[in-house]
């Protein structure tokens, strides 16, 4: 069997790469599939970003800070599940500044379960916002089968796609 990368395309967030891969078997059969490569931050890089840029969530008509996460939780837990137990203080966004919205890609174990991690977002955070942003929240993500069908190429490549809003909160 021979495996080659047929095409690589930088995705819209300029951090993720969509690869088209072709496997050619000895019997002449060709199989093509897609794979998304996501950036990865080291332990120290991730914790430094997390120290400066905090996730917030919308729950019960309010925005909230979340509990503190350790590195394992940052990488392996969905921060939008179990919000009732994870939320902390209410945040007033009235005087916050919206810096930008960007797309973010999240690997899945089951295509029907959207489980974004904080690490995935911080790893894909735009470089030009790192010094100014101090918070983010998710403004769009796949809610149902229709949304997943609108992301078929991304879904076939093993990811879901969300839209993240980068903020500068007043301190």
pLDDT digits (tens, 9 = 90+) for 109-153: 898 889 999 999 999 999 999 999 999 999 999 988 888 888 888
pLDDT digits (tens, 9 = 90+) for 62-114: 999 999 999 999 999 999 988 889 899 999 999 899 999 999 999 998 988 89
All structural domains of the chain with their residue ranges? 40-168
Taking CA atoms, 104 is separated from 101, 126, 156, 168, in Å, by 10, 10, 16, 19
Which letter, b or e, does each residue of 9-34 get, where b requires 16 or more Cβ atoms within 10 Å of its Cβ? eebebebbbbeebeeeeeeeeeeeeb
pLDDT of residue 171 exceeding 70, the answer is no
pLDDT at 149 (0 to 100): 84
> DSSP state, 1?
-
Nearest alpha carbon to residue 112 among 144, 138, 90:
144
159 pLDDT band, cuts 50/70/90, is very high
Output the pTM of the full model: 0.93
11 pLDDT band, cuts 50/70/90, is very high
50 pLDDT band, cuts 50/70/90, is very high
Cβ count within 10 A of residue 94 = 6
Task: Tell me if 157 sits within 8 A of 121, measured CB to CB.
Answer: no
Which letter, b or e, does each residue of 115-150 get, where b requires 16 or more Cβ atoms within 10 Å of its Cβ? bbbbbbbbbbbeeebeeebbbbbbeebbeeeeebee
Average pLDDT over every residue of 38-44: 98
Q: In 3-state terms, what secondary structure has residue 114?
A: coil
């Amino acid at each position: 069997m021979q495996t080659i990368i047929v095409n690589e395309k930088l995705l819209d967030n300029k951090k993720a790469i969509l690869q088209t891969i072709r496997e050619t078997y000895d019997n002449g059969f060709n199989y093509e599939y897609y794979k998304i490569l996501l950036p990865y931050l080291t332990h120290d890089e991730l914790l430094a970003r997390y120290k400066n840029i905090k996730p917030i969530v919308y729950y019960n008509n309010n925005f909230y800070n979340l509990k503190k996460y350790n590195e394992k939780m940052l990488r392996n837990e969905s921060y939008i599940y179990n919000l009732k137990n994870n939320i902390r203080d209410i945040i007033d966004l009235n005087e916050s500044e919206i810096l930008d919205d960007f797309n973010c890609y999240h690997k899945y174990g089951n295509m029907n379960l959207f489980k974004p991690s904080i690490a995935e977002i911080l790893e894909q955070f735009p470089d030009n916002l790192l010094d100014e942003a101090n918070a983010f929240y998710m403004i769009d993500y796949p809610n149902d089968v229709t949304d997943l069908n609108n992301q078929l190429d991304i879904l076939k490549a093993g990811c879901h796609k969300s839209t993240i809003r980068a903020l500068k909160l007043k301190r």
